[in-house]
Structure 1
Amino acid sequence: YPSGNLAVMVVRHQAQLVCIVQEDRPSNAKIQAVFQSRGRSTCYYPSGTVWINMDTQGGQYFNHRGCRVRRWRWPSTLMSSEPQVPLSPIFISLNQYVGVRILGQDKIIVSFLAMGQQAKLNVGTKVQVSSWLRPPTPLGEGELLLLAFRVRILQLLDRLRGCLTFPSTEQWDKIKPPAFLTTQTWKILELCTCPGMSEELRSSVRAIVNA
């Protein structure tokens, strides 16, 4: 960002690439979007509520209250026997500088515009799965909360190490969390997008990892 804060990062995790968009804050920046090379992606409202959730079969668009208002499927010969709702192009602004344009499964563009210059990154990917493949079994409420608390404890320990390393308070806001913590945070947030999960549980998990 023009402020010098990190806006977009790309990390490698378990043989896949992950693009992460963060808000414009010097510390404790919340994740605003995650795009995985295996076809799963999620965008969030500034409040932390899921905005758009996509997987290898299609996507869903939610309003600020978490209610689904749109749903679509990617064109796929493997699922041609099922009724398909085509995708109409979608454009959202994650913040003042970063926008996301969704034109297709392999055409998901993250654009960054600041100080008269623009950068574009195509984070879409062409991934198809057979219709008989079942989604992974979602974690129970207790398991998900335990994972969230574990990540929060790791965040606090990392913060403590930073404070001990840099006693001056002027340096604290410049300390960036390690990549593995950022990755674990978005993995927890991704688990919150599973169908059937209550909004209360989603809010609790987001509050823990983004505290």
Structure 2
Amino acid sequence: YPSGNLAIIVVRETKQFVCIVQEDKPNNAGIQAVFQSNGRSTCYHPNGTVWININIQGGQYLDQAGSRVRTWTWPNTVTSSGPHAPLRPVFISLNRHVGVRILGQDKIAVSFLAMGQQAKFNVGTKVQVSAVDQLPPPSQLSEDHLLLLAFRIRIWRLFNKLHGCLTFPSNEQWDKIKPPAYLTTQALKIIHLCMTSDVSEEVRSLVRAIIN
């Protein structure tokens, strides 16, 4: 971002990738969107609720209250029942600088605009299935990146508790201080990333232990 804060993280390993969009904040930057090469992607409203959720069959668009606004299915997707709902182009702005455009399964673009310069990332991928229960192999998010994200949540929680201790030095209930809602939301998102990444159960357990 023009502020110097990290806006977009792209992790690549062989033919797999994960693209993460962060808020424009120096500290405690929330995750605004996650795009994965296995066909699964999620964008979040500013309040943390799911805005757009995409999988290998199609996607859905939700409002800030979590109510479904519209859904669609990708062409050539086999569904168990019901008609195919075609995609109508989707354009959303995650913040002042980052936008998302969805024109098709393999035509999903993240655009970054700042100071008269623009960069585009194609995060769409063509994943076809012959049946609803067939899933592609999970995308690769490295163990180091998962652990780094988990430790960041842990550090944020420690800083939050330290702030509470400094604000109320005589409080004997320090151990009962609960983390703010945004940290809980971020922890859930990281656990979701962990479960959809091809890592060992040991690493998943370690991530959960670090966050909790």
Instruction: Pick the TM interval, shorter chain.
Output: 0.5 to 0.7
Q: In the alignment, which residue of structure 2 is the partner of 1:117?
A: 117
Q: How has the CA–CA distance of structure 1 residues 15 and 188 changed in structure 2, closer, same or farther, with 3 Å as cutoff?
A: farther
TM-fit CA distance, 1:28: 1.2
Secondary structure of residue in 1 paired with 2:29: coil
The percentage of counterpart residues that share the same residue type is 63
TM-fit CA distance, 1:186: 3.6
Please report the RMSD computed on the Cα atoms of aligned residues, expressed in angstroms.
Answer: 3.3
Which letter maps to 1:104?
A: G
Which letter maps to 2:6?
A: L
What TM-score do the two structures reach when normalised by structure 1?
Answer: 0.65
Which letter maps to 1:73?
A: T
CA contact (8 A) 2:150 2:187 kept: no
Which letter maps to 2:56?
A: T
Mark the runs of 5 or more structure 2 residues left unpaired by the alignment: 136-148, 160-185, 196-210
CA distance in 1, matches of 2:17, 2:34: 11
Which letter maps to 1:56?
A: I
TM-fit CA distance, 1:76: 1.0
Pair 1:156 & 2:139 matched: no
What does 1:129-148 correspond to in 2, within 5 Å? 129-133=129-133
User: Greater Rg, structure 1 or structure 2?
Assistant: 2
TM-fit CA distance, 1:134: 6.3
Secondary structure of residue in 2 paired with 1:65: coil
Deviation string 1:55-114 (CA, Å, 9 cap, x unpaired) is: 000000000100001000000164598520000000000000000000000000100000
Number of residue-to-residue matches in the alignment: 157
Mark the runs of 5 or more structure 1 residues left unpaired by the alignment: 136-150, 162-182, 193-208
CA contact (8 A) 1:79 1:130 kept: no
Secondary structure of residue in 2 paired with 1:112: strand
